Structure formats: structure tokens, C-alpha cells
Amino acid sequence: MQPVEIKKNVHWVGAVDWDVRDFHGYSTPKGTTYNSFLVIDDKITLFDTVKKGHGAKLLDHISQVVDPKKIDYIVVNHVELDHSGSLPEVIDIVKPEKVFCSANGKKALLAHFHREDWPYEVVSNGQTLRLGSKTARFIETRMLHWPDSMFSYLEEDKLLISQDAFGQHWANSKRFDDEVDESELMYQSAKYYANILLPYSGLVQKLIASVREMGLELDMIAPDHGMIWRSNPGRIIEAWDRWSAQETANKAIVVYDTMWHSTESMANAVADGLIGAGVDVKVMNMQVSHRSDVITHLLDSKAIVLGSPTLNNGILPRMADVLCYMKGLRPANKIGAAFGSYGWGGESVKLLNATMEEMKFDIVDPGVRVHYVPTVDDLAQCVELGRKVASAMKGESAGE
């Protein structure tokens, strides 16, 4: 890979990770990038570093632009190790005059690396740093998605270096949004939001409102993962506005696991009822689906219908896994229902409903329980369950 000049004297010098397949429970089948940005000015400044193990790539890219030892400043927008893991080796080589970070950033750097000797310079929200012809303004974004997080805005370039905001986990030889397939770009952006930022949606709403109030002119948004938004940076802000408002479409997902295909038959019948009522449906068997893809499709779905047979007075482990993951991400404004087969105890439907109630989903029906293998009449009940969910999505009562 080569460094890429994204603005005059602003260079992408990051690393592409083609191989990573898991990001603490989030499936990344297309890898990711760790974006780092080098500004050449009177004070040469590096914004963010890369994950440990990729530091040599970062230093090689920097070396193609300038001798790394000439770097004056390092800005740490976010301390998470995919952005700071190589910081110790970079600092040892660069020996910067200052390392800029938020107050919480300094605490996190000390907790991670235990280096009291680094030249920390704590900055506050709205503070500016003159680099020469360019000015960096720091914008604190606490809990988006760590307490230390902040943006760096290069005022003259109208460039927002947005750390983990507005990114995607997507390894690619291209650097810009207008160089890749738009539908894939937006899917990867939605997956990133759903699996990382969803619990902080209220804060995202406040941040977007704050950015609008500040009147920041945005010609480009450069996140720390994935594509740089240059053709229409407002597009990803509008998408984050929708996702953080947890707006939903006429969509539902049917998520299930099955033992001897009985619950599978029920899942397909529920889907038939939803489809017959005009709902866009995604059926997801957890034997072949990943929890992070479930959350991606749930992001703008109005309803979720869960299915599991009863196993040892509980639910199947893969369903327990996706529910545990879902609870942590706290989706809102959802309609729920449940179904499942059983041999003797039959607790699974009750347990599925209880978990959805805990997440404050609107449960529209007690659910369908089937003893062993569903009959034609049992499957008709499942179709009817799908219709009831569809009616609830339209705001209708079950009897209408």
C-alpha cells in the first residue's frame, strides 16, 4: 500500500488489516483498516496510530512522506488498542514534543501503557492548536464510544478526523467513499453503527445536534476505520441521525435455532404470515447466521420474532448468545413475539418473551408452543402469529 494525500499536505498513512475476522464479538469477514493521518505543516502532526502488529506498516507509510523523526506532535483521539496499540513503538522512534489527548485520554493512556514519561498535553473541548497554516480544533465526544473519545477538526481544510465515528470495518485497496460500491458501503456503515454505537444512540443524537449548532463546515470526514467520506459527507451524518433516532421501516426479522427442524418449520410459517401481510422479512437461522448480522438487520426492523426449542428447561445456546449480545446493545422501539417446540417442559417461549420484555419490546402475543413436531394446524397458528405481528407493526389491534 501507498500513503494517500486526502487534502493538501494531509496524508492517509494507516494500515489495512485483511485478516481480522472478529472484533470482540462482531464478525468482520471483510477485515478492516486502521486509519492514521499525517499533517505536514510547521508542526508535523500525526493523528492516531494503528493496532499493535501493524506499526511497521504505519512507519513505512510515514517514511514515504517524511522522516518519522521529524514528527513534532501526536494526537490521540481515541485510546482503544486498535488505534493506540502501536503508540509505544511510534513514540520511541518519533520522540514527539507533545502527545495531545483529552483528560480522560491521559488517564486511559496511563492505565494502558503505564508511561508517566510521555509528553502529555491535555486539551479541552473547543480548544485549538495552531500547526502552521492549519488549525486543529478538538471536540470532545465522551462515550462515543469511550470516555476519552474526541474529534479533531482541521478548520482550513474543513476536514473532520472523527476517530471511531462514521466508520466501517472493511479492508479495501480504495480509500474514498466514491471509489467503492455504495450499497456495500452503507451496509458496512450500518453494521458498524448497530454493533458498536447503538447503545449510545441518545448521545449520538446530542452530538449531531451539537455539530449542527457549531455550524462546522464539512468538506470531508475521515474516520479511523474504513472509507473516507469525500463525495457527500452529509450522507453518513444523515444516516447516523436516522439510526440513532432508531427509526424503523416495514421490516421484521425471524431469528431462530432448531434441534430436529420443528422450530425451523415454525419459523418459515411465521415468515409466511409476515410476508403475506406485506412485511419485508429476513429469516435468520443461528446455525448459519452471526449475532452481529442479526443486530445489523434489527437496526431498522420494526419487529423481531424469536424461536427456540426447549433444551434443559432453557433455550438453545446460540439463541442465548444472540440475546445476551442484543441486550448489551439496547435496541429500542421494537415489537416482539416468540415460538418454539418442546418435548416435555416447554419453557423456551416464556424465556424468550421474558428477555424481550426486559429489553422493553412490545410483546404482541403469548407465542406459539408446539409439542414435538408441528401439525398443519400448528403451522397455521404460526402463520397467524406472523399476521398478528404485522398488524401490530401497522398499529392495528389483533382483532382488526
The residues spanned by each domain of the chain are 4-244, 253-390
Annotation marks residue 61 as catalytic: no
Fold of 4-244: Metallo-beta-lactamase; Chain A (3.60.15)
Residue 196 to residue 188: CA distance in whole angstroms: 12
How much is the pLDDT for 397? 52
**273 bridge partner residues:** none
In the chain, the percentage of residues whose pLDDT exceeds 90 is 93
Selecting among 19, 24, 92, 116, the annotated active-site residue is 24
Per CATH, the number for 253-390 is 3.40.50.360
- CB 176: neighbour CB atoms within 10 A? 17
Give the pLDDT band (50/70/90) at residue 301.
very high
- Which is catalytic among the residues 145, 169, 290, 297? 145
Q: Does 164 qualify as catalytic in the annotation? A: yes
Looking at residues 251-279, what average pLDDT do you find? 98
Pairing verdict, β 220-222 and 37-39: unpaired
Q: Which of 222, 296, 285, 265 is nearest to 383 (CA)?
A: 265
270: phi then psi, degrees, rounded to nearest 5: -60, -45
Q: What pLDDT, on the 0 to 100 scale, is given for residue 207? A: 87
Exposed/middle/buried for 346, CB within 10 Å: 0-12, 13-18, 19+?
middle
The active-site residue, picked from 11, 54, 78, 169, is 78
Residue 224 designated active-site? no
- Residue 398 has a pLDDT of 46
Active site residue 145: yes
- Residues 194, 140: Cα–Cα separation, whole Å: 22
> Of residues 17, 82, 148, 378, which has the active-site annotation?
82
Among residues 75, 99, 95, which one has the least CA distance to residue 162?
75
Q: Which of 34, 153, 192, 256 is catalytic?
A: 192
Task: State pTM to two decimals.
Answer: 0.94
- Residue 78 bears catalytic tag: yes
CB 149 within 8 A of CB 132: no
Pseudo-torsion of CA 380, 385, 387, 390, nearest 10°?
-160
Catalytic hit among 83, 225, 290, 297 = 225
What is d(CA 310, CA 324) in angstroms, rounded to the nearest whole number?
Answer: 17
169 is catalytic: no
How far apart are alpha carbons 227 and 318 in whole angstroms?
Answer: 32
Mean pLDDT of 62-79: 98
Rounded Cα–Cα distance for residues 219 and 160 (Å)? 8
Q: Which three cell numbers mark 95?
A: 520522540
- CA separation for the pair 347, 104 (Å, rounded): 46
Around Cβ 132, how many Cβ atoms within 10 Å? 13
Of the residues 60, 80, 272, 300, only one is catalytic, namely 80
- CA dihedral of 14, 16, 22, 23, whole degrees rounded to 10: 10
**pLDDT, tens digit (0-9, with 9 covering 90-100), for 57-67:** 999 999 999 99
pLDDT over 70 percentage in the chain? 99
Residue in 17, 41, 164, 177 annotated catalytic: 164
Residue 214: CB partners within 8 Å, gap ≥ 6? 139
CA 61 from centre of chain: 27
